[in-house]
């Protein structure tokens, strides 16, 4: 997996909601030295706040409402066309609340990046923070990984950990994890765009510099 150093890597962002992680990617891309840029934003939900974020940044914002399609394959066919039209290199799915079909994922091997609000493989699925608090763990966090047909699986690119406080609610924990997500996702995209991530035998090899990943931050 490699990208041309002669141009910035082009990201197609799939969203469903407020798009705060999308905003983190947009903000990162404002730095001319950042090796990637959001090329197009696609939402499956009309009126998603993330679409307004894209428009405010002068980016193409496209709504493809999944409810208007009889099959997932037809829905994804329209997504594929938009991605191709915008010459997308890498797909990011921050807050995209649709499960992609195996056939779609297999069209983009090692080129779909997802972020999940736990330290995978622990606590996959939904209601993640409720799961974390019920288990009584003392550390949680977030994971950026390449998507594979299995949900919340795939080679892990990076993780960031945050403390779980005894007084936490799902909402307070989610807010703390989200701060870490906003740092981790742009970092992992940078590593990919700079050619510092490879996949071997189902695992990633990441050429990260010392201190590049904040594994645990008591400030969060």
Q: How many independent structural domains does the chain possess?
A: 2
Note whether 75 and 11 are same-domain residues. yes
Compare 216 and 49 and report the one with higher pLDDT.
49
Residue 219: pLDDT over 80: no
Chosen domain end from 85, 108, 131: 108
Strands (E), the chain: 9-15, 36-43, 61-63, 90-92, 112-116, 139-146, 156-163, 197-200, 203-206
pLDDT above 90: percentage of residues in the chain: 90
Show the DSSP H helices in 39-144 as ranges: 49-56, 72-85, 102-107, 128-135
Residue 3: pLDDT over 80: no
Instruction: Extract the tokens encoding 132.
Output: 């974390």
Q: Residue 83: its pLDDT value, please? A: 98
CA gap 162, 139 in Å, rounded: 6
Note whether 46 and 138 are same-domain residues. no
Here the CATH number for the domain that contains residue 8 is: 3.40.50.170
- Crossing angle (nearest 10°) for helices 49-56 and 20-29: 10
Residue 39 in 3-state DSSP? strand
Q: Residue 5: its pLDDT value, please? A: 53
**Would you please indicate which residues are annotated as catalytic (active-site) residues?**
116
Residue 168 in 3-state DSSP? coil
Up-side HSE of residue 153: CA atoms within 13 Å toward CB?
8
Most confident stretch, 35-39, 211-215, 216-220: 35-39
Chosen domain end from 82, 108, 134: 108
Chosen domain end from 70, 93, 108: 108
Host domain of residue 215: 113-220
Note whether 163 and 91 are same-domain residues. no
Note whether 98 and 141 are same-domain residues. no
Note whether 2 and 82 are same-domain residues. yes
Note whether 70 and 131 are same-domain residues. no
CA gap 95, 178 in Å, rounded: 11
Residue 208: pLDDT over 90: no
Note whether 117 and 103 are same-domain residues. no
Q: Taking all residues of the chain, what is their mean pLDDT, rounded to a whole number?
A: 93
CA gap 195, 207 in Å, rounded: 9
Note whether 126 and 86 are same-domain residues. no
CA gap 13, 184 in Å, rounded: 16
Residue pointed to by tokens 């056939």: 103
Please write the tens of the pLDDT for every residue from 72-101.
999 999 999 999 999 999 999 998 999 999
The answer to whether 108 touches 60, Cβ cutoff 8 Å, is: no
Q: Residue 19: its pLDDT value, please? A: 94
Please write the tens of the pLDDT for every residue from 95-120.
899 999 999 999 999 999 999 999 99
Note whether 9 and 95 are same-domain residues. yes
Residue 2: pLDDT over 50: no
**220 band by pLDDT with thresholds 50, 70 and 90:** very low
Please write the tens of the pLDDT for every residue from 138-185.
999 999 999 999 989 999 999 999 999 999 999 999 999 999 999 999
């Amino acid at each position: 997996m490699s990208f041309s150093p002669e141009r910035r890597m082009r990201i197609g962002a799939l969203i469903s909601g407020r798009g705060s992680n999308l905003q983190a990617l947009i903000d990162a891309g404002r730095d001319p030295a950042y090796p990637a840029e959001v090329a197009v934003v696609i939402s499956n939900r009309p009126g998603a706040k993330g679409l307004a974020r894209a428009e405010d940044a002068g980016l193409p914002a496209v709504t493809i409402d999944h409810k208007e399609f009889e099959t997932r394959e037809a829905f994804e066919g329209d997504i594929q066309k938009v991605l191709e039209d915008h010459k997308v290199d890498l797909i990011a799915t921050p807050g995209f609340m649709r499960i992609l079909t195996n056939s779609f994922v297999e069209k983009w091997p090692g080129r779909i990046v997802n972020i999940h609000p736990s330290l995978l493989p622990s606590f996959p699925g939904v209601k993640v923070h409720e799961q974390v608090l019920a288990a009584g763990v003392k550390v949680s966090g977030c994971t950026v990984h390449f998507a594979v047909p299995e949900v919340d699986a795939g080679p892990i690119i990076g993780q960031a950990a945050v403390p779980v406080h005894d007084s936490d609610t799902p909402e307070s924990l989610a807010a703390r994890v989200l701060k870490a997500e906003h740092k981790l996702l742009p970092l992992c995209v940078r590593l990919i765009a700079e050619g510092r991530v490879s996949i071997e035998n189902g695992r990633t090899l990441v050429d990260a510099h010392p201190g590049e990943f904040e594994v645990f931050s008591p400030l969060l």
